[in-house]
Structure 1
């Protein structure tokens, strides 16, 4: 079986990288990070023209775009739109064409810290929302907020414009200023029903799978971007008349970071392929997503730390852009938006009674 990218997918990657490198060099990304919004508001129409919001993009194609976005810290709300909000819109048979994000105001058994409480009521003139969610990613940079809220029949999913009456967005001070969190309050805010209570649990499960893949893919891109900077520095920086990359202490660190990144990439694309080709989202598919998230997040943090170690004193200065990649890696590691900690789910599968993970404990080497 051939798991290589198709010619069309390679062209998508090439076009995405070319677009992002032209529009978002590191200096411009850092300038946006230090600006008031941390995002480029006028970039959305160009993304639509480039096809980044097309309905016919499969999971693998979206993973390619998410990886390239992570590589340059793409300073738009594209990731929050496609990873968090768009799956619920798709469940309603709609396509999101405006920047959007997701707020969880109806926590359930898999909800995570940062979820709030939002109640939806249905007076004669339509649905309204009341409540708050303390940490919503990029709520200050989007035009639509998709909300999981309580109703009398159970959790349902709604959409409201950020300019709606009674909706207040308060941006918070966060580590990654390119993806800021915000406290969002609703006070009798009019909203539109997207997903009915009977279908919300299934839509949330599909969102968790898709969002997990795209989080892993972005983490791979962050690791790749940091590794590129470290390798470039190791080639150019000289000590004792030789590039520092020729010294084992540096070369071995970069090699380990490279292996970490490649392993994470393989698991991310494996998970993307499974999600794309498993409409039911089997337990094996869910475990593949958990594994990809765990490995990719760890690889992103470790690779950024290695890159800072390799670049030495320059790597820890404010002017050098590497700290922006570390900030995003830490954001991805801490983001709680896809249920409980995947460590627990993977461990439960690994330690399930009677399951030896393919190893026969009867012989020392498992044969």
Structure 2
């Protein structure tokens, strides 16, 4: 791996770390968990107007920064570290990536400026079953009419689907999978907020009944575009998971330094040292894979086809492992509702299946290797 962060990228990381620390304390995260929307509109506006985070990938001529995936992945890692309650991943990660991949210039001009300035919350409805996320077999169909297209079907586990102003839907057509933009006020769209394991990231079930939709790109080119977009999305999710895993490691080490048993800090016991060391190895191994994937994505290298599934597999496993160990090392307090360890445990396990679980990505990696 040759990725070395620039001074500007390190400054971005520091700024986001400070922002999340100031705006997303444990008490604030728990308060947002209980709200129907699951996020703070004022903080969302600050993220867009002061830090410009939502527009990192958006071209400059459309109101964004025109940054690379490296910068966006850095932000995702820090948001994962802070366990941030925000529709950022769905908007700046999933939706922006899909819009850019589809190559529809008119759709870019119409939809990306709102994302960049924070006035549009967006998401992507990929599949009915999140563990089988592919551009095919979505369970949604699009029918061409005289006015355009209408969608029919159901899609569950859509991140922030209950509050999204713009939903990009992957639906089947006679020519193959297509990407369709649906406005929040479209007729026939029913949105039901789901109760899921991860309370810090709201998800929804979207139902479409003859719902008007705008075709983005063409069905003939959507398959390849979605494959590219999904690889980029895998890198962003992996970066977020590395951030969460690092937070679990930091929580465990801090507790081991301060918690005393038998007249000694528990961090002085060999068994505790071994657990923390194993967590460190898992985090650093995943981070190396993610940084390699970030670099290949930023360079638009063909190596991303292998780096992306490998990164998301290692990162999801590292996060789940560190979240489990974090609970164990905290003992009884780690099993209580009042402690934050369970929040990371929940996000680790739901994030691992957001666009396909470990088995799916191992199979994908083996297929791309020709095995």
Structures share fold, TM-score greater than 0.5: yes
Cα distance in 1 for partners of 2:366, 2:169 equals 31
Matching residue of 2:45: 45
Cα distance in 1 for partners of 2:370, 2:225 equals 29
State the 1:277 CA deviation: 0.6
Once the two structures are superposed, residues 222-276 of structure 1 have per-residue CA deviations (whole angstroms, 9 ceiling, x without a partner) of 1011112111111111122222111111111111101211111111011010011
Is the aligned partner of 1:11 residue 2:11?
yes
Matching residue of 2:200: 178
Is the aligned partner of 1:26 residue 2:26?
yes
Matching residue of 2:96: 86
Contact 1:212/1:338 (<8 A) preserved: no
Contact 2:135/2:177 (<8 A) preserved: no
Is the aligned partner of 1:334 residue 2:353?
yes
1:118 to 140, 155, 158: 140
Matching residue of 2:313: 294
Contact 1:106/1:148 (<8 A) preserved: no
Once the two structures are superposed, residues 20-77 of structure 1 have per-residue CA deviations (whole angstroms, 9 ceiling, x without a partner) of 1100012211222233333334432212111112221211111100100111111111
Matching residue of 2:295: 273
Contact 2:290/2:311 (<8 A) preserved: yes
Cα distance in 2 for partners of 1:199, 1:36 equals 37
Contact 2:316/2:358 (<8 A) preserved: no
After superposing the two structures, state which structure 1 stretch, 288-297 or 94-103, moved more: 94-103
The SS at the match of 2:363 is helix
Contact 2:9/2:71 (<8 A) preserved: yes
Is the aligned partner of 1:223 residue 2:242?
no
Cα distance in 2 for partners of 1:151, 1:350 equals 29
Matching residue of 1:77: 87
Matching residue of 1:67: 77
State the 1:159 CA deviation: 0.8
The SS at the match of 1:335 is coil
Matching residue of 1:210: 232
Matching residue of 1:363: none
Contact 2:127/2:156 (<8 A) preserved: no
1:58 to 65, 68, 73: 68
After superposing the two structures, state which structure 1 stretch, 45-54 or 126-135, moved more: 126-135
After superposing the two structures, state which structure 1 stretch, 206-215 or 114-123, moved more: 114-123
The SS at the match of 1:147 is strand
Is the aligned partner of 1:264 residue 2:286?
yes
The SS at the match of 1:176 is coil
State the 1:116 CA deviation: 4.3
2:364 to 335, 345, 366: 345
State the 1:169 CA deviation: 0.6
Unaligned runs of at least 5 residues, structure 2: 59-65
CA gap 1:145/1:309 in 2 versus in 1, 3 angstroms:
same
After superposing the two structures, state which structure 1 stretch, 185-194 or 14-23, moved more: 185-194
State the 1:81 CA deviation: 1.7
After superposing the two structures, state which structure 1 stretch, 301-310 or 47-56, moved more: 47-56
After superposing the two structures, state which structure 1 stretch, 133-142 or 74-83, moved more: 133-142
Contact 1:41/1:141 (<8 A) preserved: no
Matching residue of 1:358: none
After superposing the two structures, state which structure 1 stretch, 312-321 or 24-33, moved more: 24-33
Contact 1:106/1:149 (<8 A) preserved: no
CA gap 1:338/1:300 in 2 versus in 1, 3 angstroms:
closer
Contact 2:54/2:91 (<8 A) preserved: no
Matching residue of 2:159: 137
Once the two structures are superposed, residues 346-366 of structure 1 have per-residue CA deviations (whole angstroms, 9 ceiling, x without a partner) of 3456784xxxxxxxxxxxxxx
CA gap 1:320/1:113 in 2 versus in 1, 3 angstroms:
farther
TM-score with structure 1 length normalisation? 0.88
Cα distance in 2 for partners of 1:157, 1:112 equals 13
